[in-house]
Amino acid sequence: MSMDTYKQILDNMMTAVLVIDEDLRIENVNSAAEDLLHTSAAHAIGLPLHQLIMRADEIIPSLQNALEEGQPYTEREATLRLPDNVTEDVDFTVSILNRPPDGPRSLVLELQALARLKRINKDGASFARQETARQLIRGLAHEVKNPLGGIRGAAQLLERELPEEDLKEYTSVIISEADRLKELVDRMLGPQRELNITPVNILKVFEHVIQLIEVERPNTITWIRDYDPSLPHVEADESQIIQAILNILRNASQALQNTDEPQILLRSRVVRQFTIGACRHRMVMQIDIADNGPGIDKDLEERIFFPMISGRPDGSGLGLAITQNIISQHHGSIQVNSRPGQTCFSIYLPFQQAVASPTRES
């Protein structure tokens, strides 16, 4: 096989792979390693390992021993400290690469990010819980809407038979409340129409939604835009994606009402070799929406996407449930990480709606 073929194989691997020479300098990295180590091959190749991984002295003796003895080894749950105070917990395996005849040895490091495995497991459990909730809601909606229709129809018939106009005020209340409950049930079910898939510029979506929030709360929020302008368009239903992001931003803006110097960050990135549910994608779009508000209560964080669950006394608890439903219809994933002073919602969307290959990984 040619070197290009080997490189293509390495770049399609979901495991991060680094090749290190006898002087512990980086010889090669694949795409997964670039993502994991927050670097690029052009920058990393030729660097000493300790310039790429801070405090590498904790693992250098083991790597040198592997070179001298020619013995591979595995280390579990190691913490890699990267520049800019970033840490990554990984399992890694070190193998020996011999170069005949009697050439210098190199090391091959295979790194498996534990956060990624935990996320896949969490996604799987979340999908199962949310699908169970959706089935329950559909059943409940069916049971509620039928009698509501009967109540509304009976009230209309009664209204026609009432002899006095004053009495019709009561039937009007019955009809309007029946309509309100039907609308509530429909909102719980989420969007029912088929998606209108078109190429969507996510940066234009961001700016549009920011304008909508600014109308509601003019000049109160500092917007931090961290966009990747090189991103291609994503195949999606633009109106639905606008609604999904608007629901998150509206929640964030309401959470910031008592925060000094409120800020909301919108960030867009490409993530390679990413698994959503049971499908692996070569590339997905990552959208981060972060605010500097009080955070979400820990006991609420696991249930925040379920209908009728809200952290506000006056909240309907439907906005994030609808957002999750929209993202699921686009074969994407949504996650939340929160602590006091920062809440970040991350949305992962395939660039193309039909480019995903099944994998056993999840």
Residues 107 and 230 in one domain: no
Report which of 309, 226, 294, 206 is spatially closest to residue 254, judged by C-alpha positions. 294
Residues 277 and 136 in one domain: no
**Model pLDDT, residue 185:** 73
Q: Check which CATH number belongs to the domain holding 52 and give it.
A: 3.30.450.20
Residues 35 and 154 in one domain: no
Residues 171 and 242 in one domain: no
Q: How far apart are CA 232 and CA 202, in angstroms?
A: 9
**Model pLDDT, residue 301:** 62
**Model pLDDT, residue 242:** 92
According to DSSP, the residues that pair with 95 across neighbouring strands are 108
**Model pLDDT, residue 55:** 65
Q: What is the pLDDT along the chain (362 residues), one digit of tens a residue?
A: 555 676 777 777 778 888 888 888 998 888 888 877 878 888 889 988 888 887 667 788 888 888 888 888 888 877 777 766 667 778 888 888 876 666 678 888 888 876 655 555 555 555 666 666 666 666 766 677 778 888 888 888 888 888 887 888 888 888 888 888 877 777 666 555 678 899 999 999 999 999 999 988 888 999 999 999 889 999 999 988 998 999 999 999 998 988 889 999 999 998 877 778 767 788 899 999 999 999 888 777 666 776 555 555 555 556 788 888 888 889 898 888 888 888 999 999 999 886 444 443 43
**Model pLDDT, residue 131:** 63
- Is the distance from CB of 24 to CB of 17 less than 8 angstroms? no
Residues 21 and 148 in one domain: no
Residues 254 and 210 in one domain: yes
Residues 147 and 169 in one domain: yes
Q: Which of 87, 116, 145 is the last residue of a domain?
A: 116
Number of domains in the chain: 3
Q: How far apart are CA 18 and CA 30, in angstroms?
A: 7
Sheet of 16-20, strands arranged across = 26-29, 16-20, 106-113, 86-97, 73-82
Range(s) of the domain holding residue 14 = 3-116
* pTM listed for this prediction: 0.58
Q: Which of 166, 189, 212 is the last residue of a domain?
A: 189
Residues 223 and 139 in one domain: no
- Angle between helical axes of 114-161 and 319-329 (0-180°, round to 10): 120
Query: Who contacts 87 (Cβ-Cβ below 8 Å, separation ≥6)?
Result: 79, 80, 81
Residues 171 and 296 in one domain: no
Residues 44 and 64 in one domain: yes
Q: Which of 189, 220, 238 is the last residue of a domain?
A: 189
Report which of 67, 73, 29, 35 is spatially closest to residue 47, judged by C-alpha positions. 29
Residues 157 and 214 in one domain: no
Residues 247 and 346 in one domain: yes
